[in-house]
Chain A
Amino acid sequence: MIRNIVGDVYQIGEYVEGSYGYEAVLVYVIMNHQHPILIDCGSQLHRAGIMQEINSLLAGHTPEYIFLTHSELPHAGNLQQVAKQWPNIKVIVSNVMLPYIEIAPILPLSQITSEAAGKTINIGGRTLKFVFATLKDQPGSQWVFDTQTGILFTGDGFGYYQSAEQIGKFSDEVEGGIREIQFRDYHRTAFHFLRWVLPEKFNPDLDAIFAQLPVKIIAPIHGDAIRSDIPTHVARLKQAVANIRNVV
């Protein structure tokens, strides 16, 4: 399902069913004139559908960069297919990742660059900023902020399970937005370490990101983009983290 989030940014991807409802496995595409950028490339299970959607969006343009939030299969499983179709594509990952061993050897290592949190990159006139991933399940995970649209791409962070009716809908198209319990159920399964995490230590680090960046939209891989009321959704996520700690 292809959906325009805002401006030239689109989400595509699939939804897999589980006991909590549906889990999105998304890919984001920034059209960026002649310099398209992919954020993750989805699961190999959804290869045909994802490649078809990417191709229909790009309409013959060649993606210049793919940013991998991290290297797990639901995020990087189609890299082989992407590299096959666009062999010159450049891959950007966190500087904490070890591409030689954490990414399948399907591209020359010279095509993979590592960027540190806090750095910015300019691609065809567009500035992206790399952000420390507060919620991650691999050390080599990173978030990225699109300064043009105010979208923060959060990888596994801010994921949530959704009902069948909610599939493909942005938060502003869902009555009341994303609920705390949706964040809680997802984060408890994705981040088992949260049972150790003290909210009073965690919250200031999460708040600092939103204090520093003018985030208008949160775009998780495992949930449709959150386009509305960012402070409320951040507060719900913090409540979810506190509830996971207290209810284990």
Chain B
Amino acid sequence: MNTIIFGEGLERVAVRPITSDIFWITHCLGDKAQDIYKNYFGMLPNAADYSGHRIVDYPFSAFLVRDEKSLMIDTGAPRQQANTLKAVEYVLGDKSLDYIWISHVELPHAGNAPVLKRRYPQAQYMTVRGGEQYALHGLEGAQLMAPGEVINLGKHQLESVEPLFVDHGLSQWAYERTTGFMFTADWAHNLHEPAKNECFMFLDEMENAGYSADLHCDDVKVNAWYQFPWLKWTDPDEVCAAVDTFFARYDTKILAPSHGNIIRGDMARYVPLIKEGMRQAIAM
């Protein structure tokens, strides 16, 4: 199966297999990106690099693990609801969806949970233990996982991971033990250029077409700076040490952030680059 695209513009959703059974379900704007991101990147010191000669785009992704039991990692946002549902149905066919696993409760991550639950009523909401007021955040009845707890799907085992860098208080990342697939939600993502057909590409495909390590590092920096405005109050050595400890603990073969192109392997090359991006974001 190649990339399948449903809808267009603000509502467009693509689905693409990462492994034979893990699917990337993602929205990005393509040729509409310039209109939306012109202001968004306007406050950067080097704004022209992001809205001028290099017109970048920013994906919003969910991931679907198809197995004896199937699981969605996040759900996408309500504006893409109809096409997200089409993508899920396309992958699952007449199989059921068993788990709706939520990294955190923002709309672009959890906003389609109710419609998925209506379409697949047997699906169980899964989210992170340790918080309160789940009903207030729209997750009434969710089953709660502590970091280290695992959902057994058949061939795949999805472990809840204590996140390093978060915005919302109730957040989790996920690690799939069989494939080494690591989901890091809002952290460690690059940007891509629709004009270079980089929408829905894997990162290695972008690199083959000229995306450089320098650009990648700069993108990680900019995204971290936007996503985690608190980074400027941290100690860069402490942050980088935590990144090292994290990847030493989790043997990561696929890095799948919510808002970037997917990295398929060679993490030894990417970890130093991501750390450098973080270091620069802290200094911004």
Interface set of A (CB-CB < 8 Å, partner B): 16, 18-20, 23, 25, 43-45, 71-74, 77, 95-96, 98, 100-105, 114, 116, 136-139, 189-194, 196-198, 201-202, 205
| Nearest chain A CB to B184 CB, angstrom units | 15
Contact status B108-A96, CB under 8 Å: no
Cα A71 to Cα B77 with chains together (Å): 12
Sampled A-B contacts (26; CB under 8 Å): A16-B136, A20-B132, A25-B136, A72-B106, A73-B136, A73-B137, A74-B137, A101-B79, A101-B80, A101-B107, A101-B108, A102-B77, A105-B79, A137-B169, A139-B227, A191-B169, A192-B169, A193-B167, A193-B228, A194-B230, A196-B230, A196-B231, A196-B233, A196-B239, A197-B233, A198-B235
In this complex, the member of A20, A25, A105, A193 whose beta carbon has the largest number of chain B beta carbons within 10 angstroms is A193
Contact status A43-B136, CB under 8 Å: yes
Cα A197 to Cα B230 with chains together (Å): 7
Q: Does B267 contact A (CB under 8 A)?
A: no
Q: Does B229 contact A (CB under 8 A)?
A: yes
CB contact list, B225-274 vs A, under 8 A: 226-235, 238-239
Interface set of B (CB-CB < 8 Å, partner A): 10, 27, 36, 39-40, 42-43, 60, 77-80, 105-108, 111, 131-133, 135-138, 165-169, 171, 226-235, 238-239
Cα A43 to Cα B137 with chains together (Å): 8
Cα A45 to Cα B131 with chains together (Å): 18
User: Assuming A95-B43, A205-B233, is B106 touching A16 (CB within 8 A)?
Assistant: no
Contact status B42-A95, CB under 8 Å: yes
Contact status B136-A198, CB under 8 Å: no
Contact status B167-A96, CB under 8 Å: no
Q: Which residue of A lies closest to B232 (CB)?
A: A201
Complex interface: chain B residues within 8 A of A44 (CB): 138
User: Assuming A105-B78, A189-B131, A196-B238, is B40 touching A98 (CB within 8 A)?
Assistant: yes
Contact status B168-A138, CB under 8 Å: yes
Cα A23 to Cα B235 with chains together (Å): 32
Contact status B136-A104, CB under 8 Å: no
Cα A20 to Cα B239 with chains together (Å): 30
Contact status B226-A139, CB under 8 Å: yes
Contact status B235-A192, CB under 8 Å: no
Contact status A16-B108, CB under 8 Å: no
User: Assuming A104-B111, A197-B230, is B239 touching A139 (CB within 8 A)?
Assistant: no
Contact status A71-B165, CB under 8 Å: no
Complex interface: chain B residues within 8 A of A73 (CB): 105, 136-138
Pick the residue among A77, A95, A104, A193 that contacts B78 (CB under 8 A): A104
Complex interface: chain B residues within 8 A of A190 (CB): 169
Contact status B234-A198, CB under 8 Å: yes
Contact status A189-B137, CB under 8 Å: no
User: Assuming A45-B135, A205-B233, is B106 touching A96 (CB within 8 A)?
Assistant: no
| Nearest chain A CB to B113 CB, angstrom units | 11
Cα A74 to Cα B138 with chains together (Å): 9
Contact status A16-B168, CB under 8 Å: no
Complex interface: chain A residues within 8 A of B78 (CB): 104-105
Q: Which residue of B lies closest to A156 (CB)?
A: B169
